[in-house]
Amino acid sequence: MNDDMKARMDEVMSKWNSLEGYTDSTSSSNGGSSANTNAVPKYNTRANGKSSRPSGPFNGTEDRNEAMSHAREVLERMLGRKLAPDAEFGHSDNFSDLASDLDNNLRDHNYNFDDDDDDDGGQTGSADHEERDVVRTEAVENSDKPKKDEISHKLYQEELKNVNELEIHNLPGRGRGFIAKKLIKPGSIILKVKPTISTLQNQHLKRICHGCFLTAEERSIYVSQNERERLEKKMRGELKLKLNRCASCKVLHYCSKECQISDWSLHKHECVALQRFRKMYYNTYPNHPSKNDSDDLTWTDPSNETVRALARIIWKRKDERDKNGGKDGLWWKQIASLETHINRSPEKEMIKLAQQAQHLQHYLSASIPLKSKSIEEENRLDPVNLKDFGFANVNEVMRFCSSFHVNSFTLSSPSLSPIGVSNSPLMALSNHSCDPNAVVVFPNGGKFMELIAIKDIQPNEEILTSYIDLSCPYSIRQRDILERYRFSCNCTLCEKGKSDENWVDPRWCVKHIGCKKGEQGKGKMPDKGLIGKISIKCDTCDENFEIDSHRVLSEVQRGVDLLDQDEIGQLKYHEAKKEIKTLIPTLQKHIPNCSYPLLSLLRLSSLVHTPPQTPSDLDISIRSIKAAYEGSLITYPKNHPISTICLAEYSKLSSLTDSEVLPKLHIKSIREKSISSMLEAIELLNKSIKSTNISFGIENKGGIVNKEMKGILFGCQSELDGIRSKFGP
């Protein structure tokens, strides 16, 4: 980089730092996270794939096989028979045997969860299971009209006290769901609830407050009355941008005393457990280089956010039972009444659940204070007796884990980056659609989970949210829903492909290059395994065009592989940068920006190039996010927060001005170029401010992202004034 360029980048960086607020890719306090810990923000409202990964019991990965076989043993003992040697996903005889065995088992144990699996918790579509079909047929015959579910209204009376927009209904064949009581306009907050519990993913523990789930920067935006003043304070270094650490465990961080106190009733148990694990880890590795580095949290790896969330719910339950003479509170009944899929889970899943239950027993055990300080006692971790925590047996714990798995939500930052897991039994009653009319977001941090309308919802219409990534084509959506939620989706979008043969899904298509009717011409993606040139019909000009199917499909596969790696957290961002550089232009030759996997890759590309380190990084990240924004408008429903965040990111990057403005130009052209790019940024910022107002709730005034955009707008306007006074009007 030459000196001019370097100076230019320094300027970009200092500008970026003054703007930085909501992206997850930059660090805030305490050194923060590295970008490669984040998968491309997918925004599924239900818990993302990550939290569903099994968390191994205390053994590290090297002991995983042993742990799996132990979990298997537990399960086999429970069932009183051997499991198939290699239990796979699917609907084998083994699976139905297992389901009926478990059913009997549960009946024998006088289970205190709701026994009727099929009737509870919300989802649309039908599970791939005979029982459910029977339930559905009967339900349809018995009732023409959906009915208000009085029992649920009693169960949630506290939460629904001031809610006039919706009612909980028992919907034929779909369990419980939300029905609109009046016309709801886009941008309305339909429901706002305090999550029962939320926990952060380990990699965010140091940079996000465990009380409000905001970074120090986001918090400062949230509390500021005047964004311009805040930015000025920040430039002068007068803003407190550090979180405080819990002095006992040195793991959780808080932005304020208030947040620490609000979290203490549950953290007090967790705090003891965490201290114990740190000790156990360093007893095992006494010469570990990070032994005296309290900032190092690698030892927290074995217990992910899901285990910590489950433990928090169990402690909450126990505290309440201890207070009320062994009686459960109403909120526990809410949790216990949610749907589980344990009867429909394949053996592989059952083993994972058994494993998780074991892990929990150890985790809870670590929260019991030690009697002595001997190393032997420190290192001995006997599993707790779950009866002491209100569970009758292991089945019950497994069922609880399974229910959490199906009903929990991804905790996301105000700008939709996944940061943890969150739980609200009431919110979990919303059913799924791949073309939703509402979204679940956290516009002002994790203290409140909000259901916001993105379309007009008519009286008596069902309020639907999406559980999965909407940019995926039909087959991937169906696979994801079946694997995790065990039903097949028959929403309007999923049915569209079946009912209209000529419909080309923008999520899974190829471009008609040279289409007479313009840029939009597209045709269906060819089937897997096709080789050679094939002819495809364009949906815009109706003519046939040829593509090299093998070539297109193999490029698409490269993209899918990259996203899969990102999903499981195995993508190294510097490698991804190289790969993406060649892959995106190649894919753009064949498929439009709205199609899978290009849309997700474009967002990933912008993420890995942000904050920009070189002028070319800045160019790539702006071009990627612009293309992603345009694609998102086609793929996502109108007003969807993903499009809004793409636009916010695009306008924020544009405000860093055009990197092509290098000193070689005439003063006159610098002026013109700078002014025009500033004006463009201002236009984008205004558009993005408007759009946050709807996607994150009108009453929220668009939440933290909106406030941040307004701050950047101030900055751009004063920069524009500066350019004009420097170079003349």
Q: At closest approach, how far in Å is the CB of 122 from Zn ion?
A: 14
Among the listed residues 458, 454, 463, 350, the one whose alpha carbon sits nearest the alpha carbon of residue 398: 350
Q: At closest approach, how far in Å is the CB of 507 from Zn ion?
A: 12
Token couple for 101? 């065995």
What is the sign of the dihedral through the CA atoms of 714, 255, 239 and 7?
negative
Q: Strand locations in 483-553, DSSP E?
A: 509-511, 522-524, 533-537, 544-548
For the residues of 81-139, what is the DSSP string, one character each? Answer: SPPPTT--SS--HHHHHHHHHHHHHHHHTT--S-S-GGGSSB--SB-SSHHHHHHHHHH
- Measure the CA–CA gap between 96 and 129, rounded to whole angstroms: 10
Build a one-symbol-per-residue string for 660-699: x at contacts with Zn ion by CB under 5 A, - elsewhere.
----------------------------------------
For Zn ion, the closer CB: 215 or 655: 215
Binding to Zn ion by residue 464, rule CB under 5 A? no
Which residue of 352, 362, 486, 512 would you call a contact of Zn ion, by CB under 5 A? Answer: 512
Is residue 199 within a helix (H) or strand (E), and if so which, with residue range? Answer: strand 197-200
Binding to Zn ion by residue 255, rule CB under 5 A? yes
Among the listed residues 676, 598, 660, the one whose alpha carbon sits nearest the alpha carbon of residue 630: 598
Binding to Zn ion by residue 212, rule CB under 5 A? yes
| DSSP designation for 445 | B
For Zn ion, the closer CB: 87 or 364: 364
Binding to Zn ion by residue 510, rule CB under 5 A? no
Selected range binding Zn ion among 100-108, 240-248, 374-382, 601-609, rule: CB under 5 A: 240-248
Which residue of 139, 179, 205, 209 would you call a contact of Zn ion, by CB under 5 A? Answer: 209
For Zn ion, the closer CB: 515 or 608: 515
Selected range binding Zn ion among 103-111, 141-149, 204-212, 293-301, rule: CB under 5 A: 204-212
Which residue of 193, 354, 538, 562 would you call a contact of Zn ion, by CB under 5 A? Answer: 538
Selected range binding Zn ion among 45-53, 517-525, 605-613, 648-656, rule: CB under 5 A: 517-525
Strand pairing class (462-465; 431-432):
parallel
For Zn ion, the closer CB: 185 or 268: 268
For Zn ion, the closer CB: 245 or 671: 245
For Zn ion, the closer CB: 209 or 266: 209
CB contact set of 247 (below 8 Å; sequence gap of 6+)? none
Q: How many helices (H) and strands (E) does the chain have?
A: 24, 17
For Zn ion, the closer CB: 249 or 441: 249
- Measure the CA–CA gap between 254 and 256, rounded to whole angstroms: 6
Q: At what angle do helices 305-323 and 257-284 cross, to 10 degrees?
A: 120
For Zn ion, the closer CB: 436 or 631: 436
Angstrom CA distances, 241 to 213, 250, 299, 561, 716, stand at 14, 18, 26, 38, 23
For Zn ion, the closer CB: 536 or 713: 536
Selected range binding Zn ion among 188-196, 496-504, 530-538, 573-581, rule: CB under 5 A: 530-538
Q: At closest approach, how far in Å is the CB of 179 from Zn ion?
A: 19
For Zn ion, the closer CB: 523 or 611: 523
For Zn ion, the closer CB: 536 or 647: 536
Binding to Zn ion by residue 489, rule CB under 5 A? yes
Q: At closest approach, how far in Å is the CB of 665 from Zn ion?
A: 40
Hey, which residues does 192 pair with through a beta bridge?
Answer: 450
Token couple for 274? 């965490």
For Zn ion, the closer CB: 42 or 512: 512
Q: At closest approach, how far in Å is the CB of 14 from Zn ion?
A: 27
For Zn ion, the closer CB: 494 or 705: 494
Binding to Zn ion by residue 491, rule CB under 5 A? yes
Among the listed residues 270, 355, 269, the one whose alpha carbon sits nearest the alpha carbon of residue 55: 355
Q: At closest approach, how far in Å is the CB of 472 from Zn ion?
A: 10
Q: At closest approach, how far in Å is the CB of 272 from Zn ion?
A: 8
Collapsed DSSP state (helix, strand, coil) of residue 163: coil
Token couple for 209? 């407050």
Tell me, by CB under 5 A, how many residues bind Zn ion.
19
Q: At closest approach, how far in Å is the CB of 284 from Zn ion?
A: 21
Q: Which residue has the tokens 């899943």?
A: 349
Binding to Zn ion by residue 271, rule CB under 5 A? yes
Q: Which of residues 387-446 bind Zn ion (CB under 5 A)?
A: 434
Binding to Zn ion by residue 515, rule CB under 5 A? yes
Q: Strand locations in 129-187, DSSP E?
A: 147-148, 166-171, 175-180
Which residue of 494, 556, 583, 709 would you call a contact of Zn ion, by CB under 5 A? Answer: 494
Q: Which of residues 540-569 bind Zn ion (CB under 5 A)?
A: 540-541
For the beta carbon of residue 578, count every other beta carbon within 10 angstroms. Answer: 10
Among the listed residues 45, 48, 117, the one whose alpha carbon sits nearest the alpha carbon of residue 434: 45
Q: At closest approach, how far in Å is the CB of 494 from Zn ion?
A: 3
Yes or no: say if 509 and 591 are a contact pair by the CB < 8 Å rule. Answer: yes
Q: Which residue has the tokens 């491309």?
A: 40
Which residue of 57, 172, 173, 211 would you call a contact of Zn ion, by CB under 5 A? Answer: 211
Binding to Zn ion by residue 102, rule CB under 5 A? no
Residues near Zn ion (CB under 5 A) are: 209, 211-212, 246, 248-249, 255, 259, 271, 434, 489, 491, 494, 512, 515, 521, 538, 540-541
